[in-house]
Each structure stands twice: as structure tokens, then as C-alpha cells.
Structure 1
Amino acid sequence: MTTTAPAATRMAPVVWALGLTQIVGYGTLYYSFSTLAPQMARSFGWTEEWVYGALSASLLLGGLVAPLAGSAADRFGAARVMSVGSIGAALALVATALAPERLSFLVGLAGMEVASAFVLYSTAFAALAQINPLGAQRSITLLTLIAGFASTLFWPLTALLNGALGWREVYLVFAALNLLVCLPVHGWLGRVSRRQRASGPDGRATEVPPQIDGARAGRAQLVMLLAFALLGFVSSSILVHMVPMLAALGLGGSGVLVTTLFGPAQVLARLVNMRFGRGLSQPALAVIAAAAMPLGLVLLALSAPSAPGAALFAMLFGLGSGLSSIVSGTLPLALFGTAGYGRRLGLISSARLVVSSVAPFVFALATALASPRLSVAMVAGVGIASTLCFAVLWASARAVAPEGKGT
């Protein structure tokens, strides 16, 4: 107890500093896009659908690069990788802002999403694990709570700036934020990480041992990747189409009001987990996170157009979404330990982004060919499959626990 408490105290400024860079990163590289997309479309003579298609392709590219970013974090240190990513993000934002025609705009947008792989959650989680491995799970929970305010802050901020400037000037302002705010913080975190490693035995930080290793680890990692990919399909399908989906199910104007419950439910789930979830294993938390989403969808499909049923759906879906952000960082650390942690996070991010890039199209196609209710049921089925995968991981972890592999 006496050895871990000081480390936990020192982690507070680290987590808050990383939280700041995650808010700026997600705000400038992701959440701002929907506000600026109409102006972008007019600038290049595109429809908004084409602009969002360009974003989907860029997200796919970012997902393919994510494992490389994770491996670099393991090899060179996550904070150093994030410093390089901050420079890359600033350059990509500038390139996009100055793009004179469509092709250069696409290149700049692709650069933004590639940079995202180096500065957002996956690499940030790896940084926390490298600085304080034994306290990383709690730090990850707090980080997701802080970063959850990115959309709350940057949607109105982007709209305010866009009203006074154009979308190009907004991106130039955002490039400056990545250079002047994120880069110095990531540089400081690099120094903290090096000092932490130097203070450990033999110049290495204390490592978290794997709970599942040997031949079982390979199979468990494949199940984990499949589980997160399926969960990414569920999340992306519904979040992109939530408002029109609720309208198609007969909610009408009340559908917009229902969606406002999603964000608070995300934050509440993270708060409750941080306060009361210490005794809960990470595989069990993953099952709860995954199960909440299809449960909400089943209730929506059965109760629509009932407003109370839709409200319960939004709260359950927000709960699952909020917890899934946590377990995407804590589950691989708990099951497989510190070694290769960055690369595992990159693979998880890749699996989710690749599937998420096509999920909205698949949902729209299913709705056109069948009906909104059947489409919701289809996505719920995918969510149930994800839950079963996480349940398999939970059972595997419980099976090896008596052998002294951890809890």
C-alpha cells in the first residue's frame, strides 16, 4: 500500500494533462468534422454524402495504421509517439485547410485520421500503462471520463468559430492548438515516463503480468479482436443513424429529445464504474458493456414508437458505450499484461475502425431492403454475438485464475 499510493498521487496531473490532449485531439480531428462538413462540401462542389464518404475512407486508413502506431509506442515510448503525432496532426490540419482542390483535400483528411492513430485513446492508454502499470486501469477510467467532454466542448466551439471564420481558418486554429497545447504536454509526459522507468528495478517500470498466456493467449486475443470489432459495428451503425432511425420508428420530434440522454448516460456509467467498480473484473465489465447495447436495441425494437422505451434504449446504449471505451484499454492489460500492450491496443483500434467504416452503409442498406425495426434487430444480433465473445474471455480468465495468473 505504501508503494502504490504515492504513484497514484503523482498520476493525477498526468491523467489530467492527457485528458486535455484527448479533448483537443478528438475535438479537432473528429468531432469538429460534422459541423464543418456542409461548408467543405460547398467548397469543392460535392454533396455532403461524398464528404462523409471521404471521412469513412480516411477512418479506414487510420484503422489500418493503428497497429503500427501501437508497435511504435511499445518500442519508442507512447509519449514520444504522441509528440510526433501532434506534429503530424497539425501539419495534416494545415494541409486540409489549404487544399485547393478535391484530391489534396482527401490527402489532408487522410493525414488527419492517420495522425489520430498516434495521439488518441489507444496511444494515450499505452502511455498511462508505461508511466504507472499497476495503476493504469483506474487512470484509464478517469481519462475516459475527462475526454468524454470533447464533443460537449468542441461542437459549440467549432460552430462559434465557424460563424466568425470559414472552415479553413477553423482548421488553422485547430492546428495551432495541437502544436501549442498537445505537443508540449506530450513532451512533458515523455520526460515523466523516462523518469518512471529509471526509478524502477534495473531501469524498468514494474510490469503487469499476463493473466492468460501460452497457447491460450493467441486464441483469446483473436476472440477479443472479434468481440471489439462486432461492438464497433453496433456502435457505429446506431450512432451515425440514431436520429433518422428513431424518426423512422415513429418517434418523430421526440427522437431528438431522446438522443440527449445518450451523452449523460455515458458519463454516468464511467462515474459509477470509477466509484463502485473496483471489485469488478475487467472481463465481467466487458460483458456488461457489450450486453447493455443489444439489450437497449431489443427494447427499442419491441417498444417503438413508445417514448419511454426509446429513452430507456438511449440510456442503456449510452451506458454500454461509456463502459466500452474503458474496457478497450483495461481488458487487454488485465488479460495479457504490459508486454506488447501498445500493439494490442492498435489491433483493437484497427478492428473497430475497419468495421465501423462500413457499418453505417450496411445499416442503411438493410433498412432500405427490409425495415427500420428489422435493421435494429439485426444490429442487436451482432451485439449479442459480441457479448458472447466477451463471455468466452471471462470464462477463460476465470479458468486460469486458480493457477495464480491473477484476477
Structure 2
Amino acid sequence: MSRAAILVWLFGLTQIVGYGTLYYSFSVLAPSMAEDLGLAIGWVYGAFSLALLAGGLVSPFVGRAVDRHGAGAVMTFGSLAAAAALVLCATAGNAPMLAMGLVAIEVTAIFVQYEAAFAALVQLTGSDANRRITHLTLIAGFASTIFWPLTSALHDIMSWRDVYLWYAGLHVVLCLPIHIWVARQPRTGGADCATIPDGDTADRPSMGSERRAFALLLIGFSLVGFVISALLVHMIPLLTALGLGSMSAIVGAVFGPAQVLSRVVNMGFGRELHPLRLAMISAGMMVLALGLLAVASPWLVAALMFSALFGLGSGLTSIVRGTVPLALFGSRGYGARIGKLTSARLILSSIAPFAFALVLERAGTAVGLCLLVGLALLAVGALWAIDRQRVRAGLGYSPAE
């Protein structure tokens, strides 16, 4: 097995642990946190939104650290910090301490989750990074599948505090040694080179203003993040309000498998597509999914198609947020760029559930869906504008570009 393949499998393991312990476990344990400390469940979810916002604010600094010190070193620190954050949260005795613990968890998550792992693959595999990022997202896509039932099973036999303490141990015993090994590997790309996704290190033709293209990419990715965050939190209540009743849970269950399916299909057929075009398809699926739900609900078949399209688009989004910046701008400064993109996405995602709930309460379901359709269309438009900029610069979209 090649070093690149080993890296993907090892990162797949640490990403499953990272997302499972630092993100997916929260929804299972949140009711017990609230009951244990005598808090309203809404307060706990509000603290979690604040934590996501804090993660978004520190993301640019983490990105620059990745370029300066290497992704492996940053992820090594992140493993220790994540373990400490979980212990801090597990020992919280009051509401402020719980909030501090949740903020610490989501801040340290930035050091060990996708964006840091993507940067590590860029630095360690160079020209092969795009393909390896796709493989990694396929493996890590099973984080919720594994950790939702695992957390529930553990919580049946121990308190939420003990679950977090066990998860802290996972970061030290499992993730830390892997990240230490990664930190010792020699770089083949990254901050000191300008590797292009196909391995051609010749100078790339300029597509014009890279600052404008990056701003458009930031807008597109942030809007897609807002739509996904708003829908994921409110999907079941939204489907119920649209008249699907008890079938809402079944419709929602289609989302997860569709996410994984999109990554499998992309491995087989997406290699011939430029990552920017794949990003446009991903955002376009959001528009189709929401439009279908708006005009055809409560027809069950339409709702199932909505969930499938939404899952396919969301699955592709996880891939393109790592591959598009590399394809457009090369690997020089990749960590800083992806840090800024992650920051904007997380900040908007943190306010999306509250903002969308407010719209649903004040204006109704139809207006809420129209709002999300409009935001998804704006995302497609921002990505299309980058496409036009490339075309005007005479750049094509062949896989060997």
C-alpha cells in the first residue's frame, strides 16, 4: 500500500473520531446536559451555536498555522487540545462552564477536522491531493453512522460526562499517535510550492483577479453552508409542517445514504469534471431539491426525491470545499485560504438554524423555502461568475488542465 493510501485510511479513522466525538455526539447528549444542570434545552443548543461561531472566528488563524508549521503539527496539537476540551466540558458544574466547554470543543475541532486533513493531504501527496481528498470524504462520511448509535449505546450505560471522558481518551490513544506520525512525514507540496491538481508544476495561466474569484468562492460556499445548516436542523419539523406527518422521519433518513452515494459516484465519474463544475452541480442540486419540495409537497415521492437530491448535493459539498480552492489557486497558501473559507461558512452556519426558525415562525414555511431557494441560486450565481472569469481568461476545464 502506498504512503498516500495509508495517509487516507489513517486520516479517515481520525476524521471519524473527530467528527463523531466533537460534533455528532452532541445531539445525542444535549438533553442529558440540560437535565443534569437544570437548563432549558434551547439554552444548550444556543451555547452550541455560539461554539460553532467561535470555531469560525479562529479558523483563519488555524489555516495560517497550517501553512507555517505544517498540518501534521497543527493536528497533533489539536488532538491534545480536543481531549482537554472534552474533559473540560465533562467536568462542567454550571451553565457558564458548560458553555466554555462547548466553545473549547468546537474551537479545537478546527485543528483536527476536514480542513486541516485536506491541507495535510495537499502538503503530503502534492499532485494526487484532489483524488485523495475525495477518498477521505467517503471514509469519513460514516462518522454519523458510527457515532450516533455508539454514543446512544454508551449513554445507556454511563452518564454524558463519562461518555465525553471516554471520547477524550480516544483522541489521546488513537488520534494523537497518528497525527504525530503525520507530522514527521516529508512534504511534497503546500506552502512552499504551487502544485496544480494534475501534477503539472508549470505556471498556470492567470484567470484574472484572484481576489475577486476568492471572494465569489467565499460567498458561494458560505451560502451553501447556510442552506445546509438551516435544513439539517429543521428538516423533520419542516417536513411535518408540509403535511408529511409520520413519514417525515423516513424521508429524512434518505439524506445520509445519499451523501455517501454522491461520494461513491464521484469517485467513479467525477474524475472527468473540474472541481468548480462539480461545485456548481452541488449547489444546483440544492436548488432543485428545495424547489421540488416547495412545489410538490406533501407528495411522498417528491419529498423522497428532495431528500435524495439534498443528500447528493451535501455530499459533494464536503468534497469541493477542499478541491476547488486547490484547483483554482494551487497549493501555495492553501491552508490560509481554506481557513478563511471555513471561517465564513461556520459563521453563517452557526446563525442559520436560529435565523431560519425566526423566518418560519414569522413568515411561514412557504416563505422560508423560497428564501433558501434564493440563497442557493445566489450560490450557483457566484460559482458561475468564477466560471465566466475563467472562460474570459481562456482557461478550459479538461481534467488535464
TM-score when scaled to structure 2?
0.95
1-side partners of 2:181 and 2:326: how far apart? 24
SS at match of 2:132: helix
**What is the aligned counterpart of 1:104 among 97, 102, 105?**
97
Structure 1 stretch 53-62 or stretch 208-217: which is displaced more? Answer: 208-217
SS at match of 1:123: helix
Structure-2 residue corresponding to 1:172: 165
**What is the aligned counterpart of 1:207 among 176, 183, 195?**
195
Q: Is 1:43 aligned with 2:36?
A: yes
2-side partners of 1:133 and 1:177: how far apart? 29
Question: Is the Cα–Cα contact under 8 Å of residues 86 and 182 in structure 1 kept in the other structure?
Answer: yes
2-side partners of 1:380 and 1:88: how far apart? 39
Shift in CA distance, 258/211, structure 1 to aligned 2, threshold 3 Å: farther
Matching residue's letter, 1:269: S
Q: CA RMSD in A?
A: 1.9
Question: Is the Cα–Cα contact under 8 Å of residues 192 and 332 in structure 2 kept in the other structure?
Answer: no
2-side partners of 1:206 and 1:220: how far apart? 17
2-side partners of 1:205 and 1:385: how far apart? 33
Structure 1 stretch 57-66 or stretch 394-403: which is displaced more? Answer: 394-403
Q: Is 1:94 aligned with 2:87?
A: yes
Structure-2 residue corresponding to 1:343: 336
Structure-1 residue corresponding to 2:123: 130
Question: Is the Cα–Cα contact under 8 Å of residues 290 and 373 in structure 2 kept in the other structure?
Answer: yes
Shift in CA distance, 278/369, structure 1 to aligned 2, threshold 3 Å: same
Structure 1: which 5+ residue stretches go unaligned? 1-7
SS at match of 1:251: helix
Q: Which runs of 4+ in 1 moved over 6 A?
A: 203-206, 403-406
How many angstroms does 1:365 deviate by?
A: 1.1
Structure-2 residue corresponding to 1:67: 60
Matching residue's letter, 2:195: E
2-side partners of 1:347 and 1:10: how far apart? 29
Question: Is the Cα–Cα contact under 8 Å of residues 133 and 206 in structure 1 kept in the other structure?
Answer: no
2-side partners of 1:77 and 1:371: how far apart? 48
Question: Is the Cα–Cα contact under 8 Å of residues 22 and 150 in structure 1 kept in the other structure?
Answer: yes
Question: Is the Cα–Cα contact under 8 Å of residues 211 and 401 in structure 1 kept in the other structure?
Answer: no
Question: Is the Cα–Cα contact under 8 Å of residues 132 and 205 in structure 1 kept in the other structure?
Answer: no
Structure-2 residue corresponding to 1:85: 78
Structure-2 residue corresponding to 1:261: 254
Structure 2: which 5+ residue stretches go unaligned? none
How many angstroms does 1:398 deviate by?
A: 3.1
Q: Is 1:276 aligned with 2:264?
A: no
Q: How many residue pairs get matched? A: 394
1-side partners of 2:325 and 2:397: how far apart? 18
The sequence identity of aligned pairs, in percent, is 48
Question: Is the Cα–Cα contact under 8 Å of residues 39 and 95 in structure 2 kept in the other structure?
Answer: no
Matching residue's letter, 1:12: A
**What is the aligned counterpart of 1:293 among 282, 286, 289?**
286
Question: Is the Cα–Cα contact under 8 Å of residues 211 and 334 in structure 1 kept in the other structure?
Answer: no
Question: Is the Cα–Cα contact under 8 Å of residues 59 and 339 in structure 2 kept in the other structure?
Answer: yes
Question: Is the Cα–Cα contact under 8 Å of residues 280 and 383 in structure 2 kept in the other structure?
Answer: yes
2-side partners of 1:206 and 1:57: how far apart? 36
Question: Is the Cα–Cα contact under 8 Å of residues 207 and 389 in structure 2 kept in the other structure?
Answer: no
Structure-2 residue corresponding to 1:368: 361
Q: Deviations over 1:31-88 (max 9, x none)?
A: 0000000000011111111100000001000000011111000000001100000000
Structure-2 residue corresponding to 1:330: 323
Question: Is the Cα–Cα contact under 8 Å of residues 82 and 119 in structure 1 kept in the other structure?
Answer: yes
How many angstroms does 1:395 deviate by?
A: 2.1
Matching residue's letter, 2:82: A
TM-score when scaled to structure 1?
0.93
SS at match of 2:251: helix
2-side partners of 1:401 and 1:117: how far apart? 36
Shift in CA distance, 212/382, structure 1 to aligned 2, threshold 3 Å: farther
Question: Is the Cα–Cα contact under 8 Å of residues 79 and 175 in structure 2 kept in the other structure?
Answer: yes
Matching residue's letter, 1:282: P
2-side partners of 1:326 and 1:74: how far apart? 20
Structure-2 residue corresponding to 1:247: 240
